[in-house]
Chain A
Amino acid sequence: MPRKKIELENHVESLSILDADGNADESLVPKLEPAEMRKLLRGMLLARRYDERMLKLQRQGRIGTYGPALGQEAASLGPAYVLSKNDWMIPSFREPAGMLYRGWPMDKLILWWGGNETGSSVPEGIRDTPICVPVASQCLYGAGVAWGCKLRGDGTVALCFVGDGGTSEGDFHEAMNVAGAFNLPLVCVIQNNQWAISLPRKKQTASSTLAQKALAYGFNGIQVDGNDIFAVLTAAGEAVDRARRGGGPTLIEAVTYRLGVHTTADDPKKYRTEDEVEAWKCRDPLARYYKYLKKHGILDDKARDMMEEEIAEEITAAVEKAERYEPDVLEPWRYCFATMPNFLEGQLEEFQAYLESVSGGEGRSNHKRSELSENVH
C-alpha cells in the first residue's frame, strides 16, 4: 500500500471572458442575440440606479437601513437570467439585480427596506423566496426546495445565493453536504464581495478559493470573474443545465466587490482603504460591459440615454407606489397561524382597545375580528 496522490472525481475551474477594458475572448462569449445583450445591460443598469436611489431615500429618512449591492450587479443578474420561470430562486439580501429580473415588483423591495413585511409577500407566479437576513440560513431551505424539485421530477432546479462570509456558517456546510449526498438540483452562487462587514475574505477561511469547497461535498466548483457578465452567465447556465439533467449541484464563486457600504449603518473607512475601492472601481461590471456593447455596435450612447430615462421613470414610479402604501396595523395578527387561536384573539382585543385609546377610535381598522380569524391559506 504505497503512499500516493488521491485523484478526485470533481474539479475546480476558473473562468473569465470579458476583461475590465471591455475586451472579450470571442470564442467564449455566450451566443446571445443583440436584444438579449441589451436586456442584460438594462438589468444591471436598473439595479445600479435602484441602489443609488435607495441610498438617497435612506439619507432622506424615507426608508430604513439599506444594504446596497453596488458593483455586484453581474453576479446576481447572470444566474437569475439563466433560470426559467418555473425554477426557484433563493436570494440572500444583495441580489436586487436578480430579483428585479425575476419579476419582483420594485415597490415590494422598497417596501421591505422601508420596514414593511409586505416586501416579503412573494407575488403569485414568482417562484422566489423573499430577502433572507440570517446569513446562509437560506442555503438550507434552498436545498429543501431543490429536494422538492427532485421529488416532483419536473426538471426544475433551485438557485441559491450566499456571501463569502456565509461560507463560514454551519448552515452553508450542511446545505452543501446534503445537496451533494442526495444529488439535489441546487446551484449555489457565492457572491464573494471580499468583505463580510469588516472581515476580509482572507480572514474568513484558509481556503485559497471558495469554489474549491465544492470538492469536499463531491461536486464541481467554479470560480468566475463575478464582474464579468459573460463568465457568470456561462458558468450559471452550465450549472443549471447539469442540475436539470440530474447531474446534481454546482458551487459557483463569483469574485466581485462591494463598492459601497455593508449597510448604511456601516463606515467602511474603518477597515478598508480608498485605494482598494478605487482599484475595484476600475473593474466595474457595468462599465466594462457597456464598452463591449458599444465596441460591437450593439448599443450606442443615444440608446443608453433612452434606457437611462426609462429606468429613471420606472424607479420614480416604484418609489411613488411604495410611498402610497398604507400598512394595515392589524395584518400581523392574521398571519401568525392559519387560524387565529383563542389566546391571540384575547391579545388582539387588548391591542385594539389600546389603538382606540391612543387615537380616539380612529386607530381601529375596518377589519372585523371575524375577518381576521378567518383561515387565510
Chain B
Amino acid sequence: MAQMTMAKALNLAMREALAEDPTVLILGQDVGQDEGVFRITEGLLKEFGPERVIDFPVAESAIAGVSVGLCIAGYKPIAEMQFSGFGYHAFHQIENHASRFRNRTRGRFTCPMVVRMPYGGGIRAIEHHSESREAIWAHLPGLKVVIPSGPRNARALLRASIFDPDPVMFYEPKASYRAFKEEVPDEPETMEIGKAHVVRAGSDVTIISYGASMRPVLEAVDELVDEYQLDPEIIDLLSLVPLDTETITASVKKTGRCVVVHEAPRNCGPAAEIIARIVENALEFLEAPIQRVTGYDLVLPFFNLEKPYMPDPTKVITAVREVVNY
C-alpha cells in the first residue's frame, strides 16, 4: 500500500495497462513530452515510447475518430481530451461511431476505448475549463459513463474502463486530482463498472453524489452528525451508466428521504434520472420530496464568481435538513 493522489493513481492504472497489454495506447494533446497538462501521463512516454504514448495534433474529433479506427484494427486506445470543454468536437465521432459500431456490425467490430476528460470547477481555470456536462454522454446508448471520486477508486475504475469491451467516457474530477491522498494497493486492482459504493451507512437520509461533489457531501457529514444529530447514508455512484438502481433503491427504502448532489446543471441532469428511478422503485417509501443540490441552469461563471455557484457543505446541509424536517 502506498499513499497517493488521484493524479498518481490514474497514472499508475495507465502504466499497469500499458505494461500488461501491448494493444493499449494513449492518444492526446501534450500527453507525451509534456506528460499531460495535469501530468496524468507523467513518465509514460519515457517508459513506453512514442508508438504507445502519442502526442496528437490539436484535433479532438480526430483523437476520437482515430481511436475508433484503432479499435477496428484491434487496439485499445485511451483517448485524452485535455479538458471536457473541448471534448464536444469529439461528440460526433463518439455518438455516431464509437457508441454504435458493435450494434451496426452486429459485434464484428467493437470499440473498447476509453475517453478520459478532466471536468468540473474549482481550480480557478479560464473560460470553458470548468463545466460538468456528463449528462450529455449519459444520454447516448452504447456508452458507459464512469466518474471516480478518489485515488483508490480512480485507479481501479480506470483499469476496468481500459479493459472494458465497450467505449467508456471517463470523467475525472480535476479539482480532486491532488486534493487528497489515499492508500492504494500495490497490486493492480479493478472494480465492477456500475456498482455504487455506500461510503457511510446511515438511517435518516440518503445523500447521493459522485465525482467532485463527493467532497462537499463528505465535508457536511460531521456537522450533520454532531450539530443536528442526523445519521446520513452516503452513496458514491462511481458510474452514471450503468446507474446502480439497486443500491439507490435499497437505501431510499431504508431512509425514506433523499438528497442528490452534483455540480452539473439541474435541467435533465443526472439527479433527474436518479429521482425518476427512485420514484419508479420506491415511491411508497418516500417520506419527503427529494431535494436536488446542483449547479444552476446557467453558464458557470468565471472563477471569481464560481464558488457560490457550486455545491458546498452549506447547501448540502440546508437540503438535508429540509428533507428531514418535512
Which A residues fall within an 8 A CB radius of B?
A: 88, 117-118, 120-122, 124, 129-130, 134, 137, 139-149, 151-152, 158, 170-171, 174-175, 177-178, 181, 331-332, 334-339, 341-343, 375-377
Contact = CB atoms under 8 A, between A and B. Distances in A.
Give the secondary structure class of A's interface.
helix
A124 B72 CA distance: 13
Contacts of A148: 69-70, 72-75
Interface in B145-183: 165-166
B57 A181 contact: yes
Q: Which 10 A-B pairs have the closest CB atoms?
A: A144-B69, A148-B73, A140-B65, A121-B106, A141-B69, A338-B165, A174-B62, A144-B66, A341-B242, A145-B69
Interface in B73-105: 73-75, 89, 92-93, 96-97, 102-105
B107 interface: yes
B110 interface: yes
A370 B243 CA distance: 21
A343 B242 contact: yes
B69 A134 contact: no
B103 to A, nearest CB: 4
B106 A120 contact: yes
Given A134-B92, A142-B69, 13 more contacts: A120-B104, A120-B105, A141-B65, A144-B68, A148-B72, A175-B65, A177-B57, A335-B106, A337-B166, A338-B165, A339-B165, A342-B242, A376-B107
A336 B74 contact: no
B152 to A, nearest CB: 24
Contact of B246 (A134, A141, A342): A342
Nearest to A171: B61
B102 A147 contact: no
A332 B142 CA distance: 11
A337 B102 contact: yes
28 contacts: A120-B105, A120-B106, A121-B105, A121-B106, A122-B105, A129-B72, A129-B105, A137-B93, A140-B62, A140-B69, A143-B65, A144-B66, A147-B69, A148-B72, A148-B73, A158-B69, A171-B62, A171-B65, A171-B92, A174-B59, A177-B62, A178-B56, A332-B103, A334-B107, A337-B142, A338-B166, A342-B245, A377-B165
B104 A117 contact: yes
A377 B194 contact: no
B61 A170 contact: yes
B303 interface: no
A137 B97 contact: yes
B38 to A, nearest CB: 24
B83 to A, nearest CB: 18
Nearest to B111: A141
Contacts of A88: 73
A376 B75 CA distance: 18
A169 to B, nearest CB: 10
Given A148-B73, A338-B166, A141 B68 contact: yes
Contacts of B68: 140-141, 144
A189 to B, nearest CB: 17
A375 B106 CA distance: 12
B96 A145 contact: no
Given A137-B92, A151-B51, A338-B166, A145 B73 contact: yes
Contacts of A377: 107, 110, 165
A121 to B, nearest CB: 4
Interface string B183-221: 000000000001000000000000000000000000000
Nearest to B141: A336
Nearest to B60: A174
B109 interface: yes
Q: Of residues A140, A331, A376, which shows the largest number of chain B Cβ atoms within 10 Å of its Cβ?
A: A140
Contacts of B106: 117-118, 120-121, 331, 335
Nearest to B193: A341
Contacts of B243: 343
Contact of B66 (A134, A178, A334, A338): A178
Contact of A174 (B65, B71, B75): B65
A332 B106 CA distance: 9
Most interface-central of A120, A141, A178 (chain B CB within 10 A): A141
B70 to A, nearest CB: 5
Contacts of A121: 104-108
A336 B100 CA distance: 8
Contacts of A130: 104-105
Nearest to B95: A134
Contacts of B105: 120-122, 129-130
Contacts of A341: 194, 241-242
A141 B66 contact: yes
A232 B92 CA distance: 31
B294 interface: no
B67 interface: yes
Contacts of A129: 72, 105, 109
Nearest to B67: A144
Given A143-B66, A144-B65, A343-B245, A149 B73 contact: yes
Nearest to A173: B59
B59 A178 contact: yes
A181 B72 CA distance: 21
Nearest to B102: A335
Nearest to A174: B62
Contacts of B69: 140-148, 158
A337 B101 CA distance: 10
Contact of B62 (A124, A143, A151, A375): A143
A137 B92 CA distance: 8
Q: Which of B73, B74, B104 has the most CB of A within 10 A?
A: B73
